Structure 1
């Protein structure tokens, strides 16, 4: 029994990472696949582990640098007898050749070192697959980096598009970063029909309100996970990067002066209705104490780890300035 099968038997299911390559694709032997990152992943019978992927499996979708999101496979489309174009090195027949930007000939084969202008093209029969996970998808937005994913992998290969993951450890790692998946039972909807062609584009986007704001938010997500510092775990779509010092005054983004806050909490924070003591205790303005959802936040400890990056002098400054108006 393989390590993948042993873990699957012990935990009741498998886990995989799916590599989305897109514009980062280096090797030119395959033309790539049509994926809608937040909805589905396409592959075929030339890809390693293609037979093992099943409904109910946990998947982490990644690029070459970080995890993009996680979900459970809800359905699999299988289409046999398809034709696929595949390009090979004309000398050794390998598909692992790269396109060169500044040198000629255009391509160079990594295994044998041959440079050439035109690859050998063949047509092969394949079965194509599309794994659907959009109903349980939760964005990770890079809060798990490549090194962390490598530690969770059951494969040592960097080249696999579909890599086996340790299911239980992956679920724990995702939960530790503030992500809350729906109940797994949602994945077992085998009877539902999915179209074979999905609309292009992405379902979720992150808008940058100011230059640098998106990078600032990404840095905070990488540091703290998808966790509102005041209320705890929250969907990625409602988390915003907040400044302890007004950006309009400093015009700089420092992780030491930033917090991830839920959108409504961020508004209260910027409006001087919520602040944090130097001991990292949440304080709410007296004018909000009639609102149960917000008065319940009074006295709570900030949801940050002990090794947080916060500049406590700046926290103290924000607390003094805010409470002076109450």
Structure 2
């Protein structure tokens, strides 16, 4: 059991991007225990480790896309932690910036001295470990904010850092445009308590994997953000990739023949109880008139950009087919 102390927040929250485990340059250490949707681990050897505070905005990222966004609820400080650090064994070098190679032998290659070797020198160092918890208001992004767009939100061009500062206002504006609705910062009275133990063991997969996301859904998320084409912004957990034409018939995944729809709207769409006109308006079946929330959607405009790559021809054919039975 590891004791922990919660670190107090500062006056003006900042924004950071966290590079997840498996993607980080470990600088010779054995890695970190990250739970993508809930917590992030780092230590006093990591740049910006003393700058991160409760209330800060965080975007969790892989090497090529943003996975999710949240706010830090608690930040545990764990002094006196032991950490294995591996160094290049070459005399006069001793650097930690070597890479493990997947197929080549020897296994490791040091970029500083150019030496290849099978076994690094391992030493034990004492560090202060930190665990940032943010699961309470986690919003999955699933790559709708690509790496190059996230890069433009960074304050400094320090690509090797696992914790990088972001422009907070620009970041919030960017995810707002993508349909992500992040709740306000949680007041201290509702901040969650966490076990006084570093996370370990089984880790959750990225949200994209949990939702059964395939290439088609990912392409639609990149195109439209976290926005249901009928009802507007929605959590990623309820957004589904819908085909304008039944996949079982055509077996084609085309972005111009797909929309992101909330799960209940998707069910109505597939059962021909909801249709989209060539004028990009929502039409609901007479059978839904008795359901106020669905009936209120009738005549509303589709929530997609004017230049969206949506096949109007396929849409018109589908509309005529569906409404002919109403």
Report the TM-score, using the length of structure 2 for normalisation.
Answer: 0.91
Which residue pairs with 2:63 in the alignment? Answer: 64
Which residue pairs with 1:224 in the alignment? Answer: 224
Matches of 1:126 and 1:190, distance apart in 2: 30
- The C-alpha deviation readout for 1:11-65, integer Å capped at 9, x for no partner, is x31000000032x456661211111111100000000000000000000000101
Higher alpha-carbon deviation: 160-169 or 95-104 = 95-104
Structure-to-structure mapping, 1:126-275, within 5 angstroms:
126-186=127-187, 188-189=188-189, 192-195=192-195, 196-198=197-199, 200-202=202-204, 206-208=210-212, 214-275=214-275
Matches of 1:191 and 1:147, distance apart in 2: 33
Conserved 8 A contact 1:282-1:299: yes
Conserved 8 A contact 1:75-1:189: no
- Which runs of no fewer than 5 residues in structure 2 stay unpaired? 1-9
Report the alpha carbon displacement of residue 100 of structure 1 after superposing the two structures with TM: 1.7
Report the alpha carbon displacement of residue 122 of structure 1 after superposing the two structures with TM: 1.2
Matches of 2:96 and 2:156, distance apart in 1: 21
- Which runs of no fewer than 5 residues in structure 1 stay unpaired? 1-7
Which residue pairs with 2:4 in the alignment? Answer: none
Report the alpha carbon displacement of residue 158 of structure 1 after superposing the two structures with TM: 1.1
CA RMSD of aligned residues (A): 1.8
Seen in structure 2, the aligned counterparts of structure 1 residues 252 and 293 have a Cα distance that, compared at 3 Å, is same
1:39 counterpart = 2:38: yes
Report the alpha carbon displacement of residue 192 of structure 1 after superposing the two structures with TM: 4.5
Conserved 8 A contact 2:24-2:162: no
Report the alpha carbon displacement of residue 101 of structure 1 after superposing the two structures with TM: 2.3
Seen in structure 2, the aligned counterparts of structure 1 residues 192 and 269 have a Cα distance that, compared at 3 Å, is closer
Higher alpha-carbon deviation: 125-134 or 286-295 = 286-295
SS at match of 1:135: helix
Matches of 1:231 and 1:109, distance apart in 2: 53
Report the alpha carbon displacement of residue 119 of structure 1 after superposing the two structures with TM: 0.8
- The C-alpha deviation readout for 1:151-196, integer Å capped at 9, x for no partner, is 000120111000000000001111111111112134x458743112
Conserved 8 A contact 2:25-2:160: no
Matches of 1:311 and 1:82, distance apart in 2: 57
Report the TM-score, using the length of structure 1 for normalisation.
Answer: 0.91
Report the alpha carbon displacement of residue 233 of structure 1 after superposing the two structures with TM: 0.3
Conserved 8 A contact 1:88-1:120: yes
Matches of 1:237 and 1:47, distance apart in 2: 32
Conserved 8 A contact 1:207-1:214: no
Which residue pairs with 1:3 in the alignment? Answer: none
Report the alpha carbon displacement of residue 206 of structure 1 after superposing the two structures with TM: 3.0
Seen in structure 2, the aligned counterparts of structure 1 residues 184 and 191 have a Cα distance that, compared at 3 Å, is closer
Conserved 8 A contact 1:245-1:257: yes
Conserved 8 A contact 1:56-1:73: yes
SS at match of 2:210: coil
Matches of 1:45 and 1:101, distance apart in 2: 29
Tell me how many residue pairs correspond in the alignment.
311
Seen in structure 2, the aligned counterparts of structure 1 residues 247 and 148 have a Cα distance that, compared at 3 Å, is same
